[in-house]
Amino acid sequence: MKGILERRQYGSDFELWCRCYRDIKFLAHYHTDVEMILVRGGNPKITVNNHTYPCRKGDVVVIRPGDIHFNEHDSSENVLDFVVFNPIILGDIYSSHIELIPYIGAEQAEKFSFAVDGTTLFDTLHRELRSKERYYDAAVKSRLRSFWVDYLRHFATGEQGGALVSPNRLSRIRVLLDYIDRHYDRDIPLSKAAELLGYDTFHCSKTFKAITGVNYVTYLNTVRVGKALEKLRGSGSSMIDVALDCGFNTPRTFNRVFKEITGMTPTEYLKTLEQGIVKHPDDPAQNHTILSFADSWL
């Protein structure tokens, strides 16, 4: 994982990336880009800023810069299509000061007669990015802006509903997530997390789980295992060195936690790499907060 503050690297000067995943699970994170998720299959639950949206096929979830988001890590199947882009692409119709409802139900979009529904929009973006015909970037911008205008017209609200998280709480959680990502190799007890948030340990634990969807220890261990996966794939370090470098005090603890999160021991994981069973996309813009997925395609 490159960062819980996800710093996306685009493959070109045109700062837009899209990819479709099957059975994806991703960790709570935020970024400085706009992200749109189209549900192509399944009934995933996607949480944005402490509000969980049960989704169905055709629904779109919009995540704006700074929004903490993740999907529920249950065993349900899903097919999720992602478009991530620099908000500059939207031009002067984008504003960070307008409150917007993240969830756009397929039936709502049809009711409000969106000029372009979510599925058509995503299909068009994939097609334009694959073909890269003349003025493809202008075509993509045009489709996105048309969709965004309809989004503003029907889903803008000035209300801060009770289910939403205050900007102050979100800001505190972002500080903690960044700290974990930078110092995952150190001992970071709940008391340290509470200190960073300015809460007592009970309030810290409750707030953290409400916003990220998992308890503090699980989140910390997941980040550490993500770092360990990177090291096992490319560093050539010994198992003990990887364990210590990723914040685990003993190989035994490392093995136990690694298996709890990945379903296999570190040794078993290395064997799957040698046998070519575990596949890793070579996409340079890959979302490094992804925990797992069954397949991906453009």
Q: Per the domain annotation, does 288 fall within a domain?
A: no
Question: Which tokens go with 101?
Answer: 């409802």
Q: Give me the pLDDT at residue 240, please.
A: 92
User: Do 171 and 270 share a domain, yes or no?
Assistant: yes
Q: Which amino acid, 179?
A: Y
- Predicted TM-score (pTM) of this structure: 0.72
Q: Per the domain annotation, does 289 fall within a domain?
A: no
Q: Give me the pLDDT at residue 287, please.
A: 45
Q: Give me the pLDDT at residue 292, please.
A: 63
Q: Which residue has the higher pLDDT, 179 or 226?
A: 179
Write out pLDDT tens, residues 186-200: 999 999 999 999 999
Q: Give me the pLDDT at residue 262, please.
A: 77
User: Do 141 and 176 share a domain, yes or no?
Assistant: no
Read off the pLDDT of each residue in 13-34 and give the average, rounded to a whole number: 86
Q: Per the domain annotation, does 287 fall within a domain?
A: no
User: Do 135 and 218 share a domain, yes or no?
Assistant: no
Q: Is the pLDDT of residue 271 over 60?
A: yes
User: Do 177 and 132 share a domain, yes or no?
Assistant: no
Average pLDDT, the chain: 84
Query: What is the tally of structural domains in the chain?
Result: 2
Percent of the chain residues topping a pLDDT of 90: 46
User: Do 179 and 151 share a domain, yes or no?
Assistant: no
User: Do 142 and 88 share a domain, yes or no?
Assistant: yes
Q: Which residues contact 14 (CB under 8 A, 6 or more apart)?
A: 137, 140
Q: Per the domain annotation, does 133 fall within a domain?
A: yes
Q: Per the domain annotation, does 162 fall within a domain?
A: no
Q: Which residues contact 225 (CB under 8 A, 6 or more apart)?
A: 246, 257, 258, 261, 262
Q: Per the domain annotation, does 92 fall within a domain?
A: yes
**How far is Cα 79 from Cα 57, in angstroms, rounded to an integer?**
9
Q: Give me the pLDDT at residue 185, please.
A: 94
- Structural domain for 114, as ranges: 5-155
Task: Label residue 108 exposed, middle or buried (CB < 10 Å: 0-12, 13-18, 19+).
Answer: middle
| Among 138, 102, 120, 123, residue whose Cα is nearest residue 20 | 123
Write out pLDDT tens, residues 74-95: 667 899 999 999 999 999 899 8
Q: Give me the pLDDT at residue 145, please.
A: 95
pLDDT-wise least confident of 146-155, 168-177, 239-248, 250-259: 168-177
> Of the residues 132, 155, 178, which one is the last residue of a structural domain?
155
Confidence of residue 268 (pLDDT cuts 50, 70, 90): confident
Read off the pLDDT of each residue in 31-56 and give the average, rounded to a whole number: 92
Rounded alpha-carbon distances, angstroms, from residue 175 to 21, 97, 171, 206, 262: 29, 21, 6, 17, 27
Q: Is the pLDDT of residue 285 over 70?
A: no
Q: Give me the pLDDT at residue 6, please.
A: 58
Q: Per the domain annotation, does 161 fall within a domain?
A: no
Sign, CA dihedral 244-179-280-218, equals positive
Q: Give me the pLDDT at residue 286, please.
A: 43
User: Do 116 and 172 share a domain, yes or no?
Assistant: no
pLDDT-wise least confident of 1-5, 103-107, 165-169, 245-249: 1-5
Domain of 17, CATH number, reads 2.60.120.280
User: Do 136 and 81 share a domain, yes or no?
Assistant: yes
Q: Give me the pLDDT at residue 173, please.
A: 86
Rounded alpha-carbon distances, angstroms, from residue 36 to 72, 91, 176, 298: 17, 17, 25, 15
Q: Give me the pLDDT at residue 146, please.
A: 94
Q: Give me the pLDDT at residue 4, please.
A: 46
- SS3 for the chain, per residue? CCCCEECCCCCCCCCEEEEEEECCEECCEEECCEEEEEEEEECCEEEECCEEEECCCCCEEEECCCCCEEECCCCCCEEEEEEEECHHHHHHHCCCCCCECCEECHHHHHHCCCCCCHHHHHHHHHHHHHHCCCCHHHHHHHHHHHHHHHHHHHHECCCCCCCCCCHHHHHHHHHHHHHHHHHCCCCCCHHHHHHHHCCCHHHHHHHHHHHHCCCHHHHHHHHHHHHHHHHHHHCCCCHHHHHHHCCCCCHHHHHHHHHHHHCCCHHHHHHHHHHCCCCCCCCCCCCCCEEECCEEEC
User: Do 147 and 180 share a domain, yes or no?
Assistant: no
